């Protein structure tokens, strides 16, 4: 059918790359045993391709809270936040998030993707400008398209390049959203946020930081890169997700600007979708308490991340620029990446495969995501799997 013809190239590329089961794309995980173990086909694997940074998906308190909400409030809200989909628990979570992150206002969205669409895509409009880091997540690019604003990219993590492009905008900087991320999901590197804030102080702009991968991971209290860099007051809007450190699904935005609340009446991604289920909200509220009260989780996460990064670097792999719970291993061509991914599965490790153009520099990469729930033994098993694959490559 003609409408599908435009996808022929995707279909051909996929068929050429994926000829054996399991597939690295949309991998079917047949059973989940714990935050770090599962089964894919006949392979029992260590799950090292999740975003379960604090390992809270199986936390007994989170599960108990979700069960209680399920029993008391039902399986779903069946409606929009704007209509019947705002329960007391949605409001309570917003108040708790605002208090935890030290901001005046918070809005909860149904997913992290929608949080970016619903804030960036609504705040910026025709006549405004979005200046974004080139490596920003697809949800931010999609938000830009939704906004109707003019969109300018700057080179990834290059503050001088950002400043040059901001200067070109002249007086328009006052109507410009500068959008960066706390930790970038492809290479696991962090934005130079203190320097970005310094430029914003001099030239103006409205700073948006997507802390999807950094809330719960960075900062003495887990409040993200803005806390770690000591610039929380300078961040105009912090966007985040519940589907990583907080172990559920949903998204949020917090701001020191009290006007944020008006977005509830203007943001289509907030209005025209159903709200999160009560069970999901309940588990997030408990996970938020645990994230605040158990800094040991963060310490364990970083011990695991640093051990894995050092172990893979010692093996001679080309990695992302800094140790991080997202360890990117650059692998070469797409077919090489696919073969490596299958090798990892056979070695009992599940990681994410990312192919160009989604991956930077035209190289395939596997993204190994570390969790506080990984035991040291599991981290060593992951390193051993990479060692064996390295050996096979050398001897093969």
Partner 1 sequence: MPSQNMQSQKQILEMICSHLEKIKPEAVGIGPDTDLIQELGLESLQVMDLVMELEDEFDLSVPLNRLADVHTPAQLAQCISALLEPTDGVV
- Which residues are known catalytic residues? 185, 213, 244
Is the preceding omega at residue 22 within 30 degrees of 0, hence cis?
yes
Region binding partner 1 by CB under 8 A among candidate stretches 65-73, 162-170, 196-204, 247-255: 162-170
Q: Scanning residues 318 to 357, which ones bind partner 1 (CB under 8 A)? A: 356-357
Block residue for tokens 């893979």: 312
Q: Scanning residues 241 to 280, which ones bind partner 1 (CB under 8 A)? A: none
One residue of 124, 136, 144, 217 binding partner 1 per CB under 8 A: 144
For partner 1, give the closer residue by CB, 62 or 178.
178
Name the nearest CA neighbour of 51 among 249, 192, 190, 191: 249
One residue of 40, 169, 284, 326 binding partner 1 per CB under 8 A: 169
Q: Is 32 helix (H, G, I), strand (E, B) or coil?
A: strand
Contact 107, 258 (CB under 8 A): no
For partner 1, give the closer residue by CB, 4 or 296.
4
Residue 134 in the binding site for partner 1 (CB under 8 A):
yes
For partner 1, give the closer residue by CB, 68 or 150.
150
Region binding partner 1 by CB under 8 A among candidate stretches 64-72, 96-104, 151-159, 187-195: 151-159
For partner 1, give the closer residue by CB, 63 or 152.
152
One residue of 168, 201, 202, 268 binding partner 1 per CB under 8 A: 168
Contact 162, 154 (CB under 8 A): yes
Residue 5 in the binding site for partner 1 (CB under 8 A):
no
Block residue for tokens 């970083």: 302
Region binding partner 1 by CB under 8 A among candidate stretches 26-34, 57-65, 148-156, 233-241: 148-156
Please name the residues in contact with 364: beta carbons below 8 A apart, sequence gap of 6 or more: 330, 331, 332, 333, 334, 336, 337, 338, 340, 353, 354, 355, 356
Residue 153 in the binding site for partner 1 (CB under 8 A):
yes
* Exposed / middle / buried, residue 8 (Cβ in 10 Å: 0-12, 13-18, 19+): exposed
Residue 145 in the binding site for partner 1 (CB under 8 A):
yes
Region binding partner 1 by CB under 8 A among candidate stretches 85-93, 161-169, 232-240, 346-354: 161-169
Give dist(CA 354, CA 124) in Å, integer. 30
DSSP 329-373: EEEESHHHHHHHHHHHHHTTEE-EEE-TTTSGGG-EEEEEE--TT
For partner 1, give the closer residue by CB, 126 or 396.
126
Closest contact distance (angstroms) between CB of 357 and partner 1 is 4
Tell me the two tokens of residue 145. Answer: 């398209």
Which residues are at the interface with partner 1 (CB under 8 A)? 129, 134, 144-145, 148-155, 164-165, 168-169, 356-357
């Amino acid at each position: 059918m003609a409408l599908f013809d435009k996808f022929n190239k995707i279909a051909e590329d996929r068929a050429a790359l994926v000829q054996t089961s399991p597939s690295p794309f949309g991998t079917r995980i047949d059973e989940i045993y714990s935050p770090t173990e599962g089964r894919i086909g006949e392979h029992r694997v260590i799950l090292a391709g999740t975003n379960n940074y604090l390992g809270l998906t199986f936390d007994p308190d989170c599960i108990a809270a979700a069960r209680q909400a399920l029993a008391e409030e039902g399986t779903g809200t069946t409606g929009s936040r704007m209509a019947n989909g705002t329960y007391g628990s949605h409001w309570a979570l917003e108040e708790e998030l605002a208090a935890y992150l030290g901001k005046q206002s918070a809005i909860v969205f149904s997913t992290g993707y929608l949080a970016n669409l619903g804030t960036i895509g609504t705040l910026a409009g025709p006549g405004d400008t979005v200046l974004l880091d080139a490596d920003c997540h697809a949800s931010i690019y999609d938000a830009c398209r939704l906004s109707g604003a003019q969109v300018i990219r700057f080179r990834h993590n290059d503050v001088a390049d950002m400043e040059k492009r901001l200067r070109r905008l002249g007086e328009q900087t006052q109507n410009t959203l500068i959008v960066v991320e706390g930790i970038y999901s492809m290479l696991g590197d962090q934005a130079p946020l203190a320097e970005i804030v310094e430029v914003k102080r001099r030239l103006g702009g409205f700073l948006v930081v997507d802390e999807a991968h950094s809330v719960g991971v960075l900062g003495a209290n887990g409040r993200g890169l803005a806390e770690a860099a000591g610039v929380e007051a300078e961040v105009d809007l912090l966007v985040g997700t519940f589907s990583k450190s907080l172990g559920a699904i949903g998204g949020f935005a917090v701001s020191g600007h009290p006007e944020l609340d008006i977005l509830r009446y203007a943001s289509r991604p907030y209005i025209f979708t159903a709200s999160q289920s009560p069970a999901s909200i309940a588990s997030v509220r408990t996970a938020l308490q645990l994230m605040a009260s158990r800094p040991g989780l963060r310490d364990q996460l970083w011990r695991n991340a640093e051990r894995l990064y050092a172990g893979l670097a010692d093996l001679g792999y080309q990695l992302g620029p800094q140790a991080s719970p997202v360890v990117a291993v650059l692998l070469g061509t797409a077919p090489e990446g696919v073969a490596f991914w299958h090798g990892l599965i056979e070695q009992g490790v599940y990681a994410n495969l990312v192919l160009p153009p989604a991956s930077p520099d035209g190289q395939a990469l596997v993204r190994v995501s570390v969790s506080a729930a990984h035991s040291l033994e599991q981290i060593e098993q992951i390193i051993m799997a990479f060692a064996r694959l390295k050996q096979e490559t050398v001897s093969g």
